């Protein structure tokens, strides 16, 4: 698992021998905690997604990597899903900024996991692809919470 970047600030004034370095380890700890929570949500809710999509006879189990990244500015996205299990490793990328400001949005992981399970070869029609993922989240997972 990639370690999230740690924000650091340096205060250096002329005449000082060494700069004062401040490391925000609290942010790192929060991101690591969120990453563990995301893993648990994805693992526990895989069967719910399979049932909601009525894929019990054709489940698509593949390795999944969840990345919490400062390099992504959106909310989250699922990638490398492939079609019919063609791609072995799927990924979900979650914006670190979003994760820190919305730590209780765990339904976002269920939504993105739905995309991984569906494994569509492309994103068309977008309204249907997103609508199904929203339906799994809002009418299957959120109502249980």
- Domain parsing of the chain, residue ranges: 20-141
What distance in Å separates the CA atoms of residue 43 and residue 96, rounded to the nearest whole number?
20
Decide: helix, strand or coil at residue 88: coil
* pLDDT level of residue 28 (50, 70, 90 thresholds): confident
Contact 93, 67 (CB under 8 A): yes
Please calculate the CA angle 94-61-1 and round it to the nearest 5 degrees. 40
State pLDDT tens for residues 95-125. Answer: 999 999 999 999 999 999 999 888 777 778 8
Decide which of 92 and 83 is more confident.
Answer: 92
Query: Which residue, chain included where needed, has tokens 């959106």?
Result: 74
Q: What is the mean pLDDT of the chain?
A: 81
Residue 41: per-residue pLDDT: 94
């Amino acid at each position: 698992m990639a370690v999230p970047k740690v924000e650091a600030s340096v205060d250096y004034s002329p005449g000082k021998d060494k700069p004062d370095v401040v490391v925000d380890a609290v942010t790192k700890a929060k991101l690591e905690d969120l990453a563990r929570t995301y893993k648990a949500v994805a693992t526990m809710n895989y069967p719910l997604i399979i049932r909601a999509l009525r894929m019990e006879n054709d489940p698509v189990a593949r390795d999944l990597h969840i990345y919490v990244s400062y390099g992504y500015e959106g909310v989250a996205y699922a990638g490398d899903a492939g079609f019919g299990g063609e791609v072995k490793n799927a990924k979900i990328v979650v914006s670190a900024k979003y994760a820190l400001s919305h730590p209780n949005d765990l339904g976002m992981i269920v939504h993105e996991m739905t995309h991984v399970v569906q494994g569509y070869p492309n994103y068309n029609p977008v309204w249907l692809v997103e609508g199904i993922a929203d339906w799994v989240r809002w009418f299957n997972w959120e109502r249980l919470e």
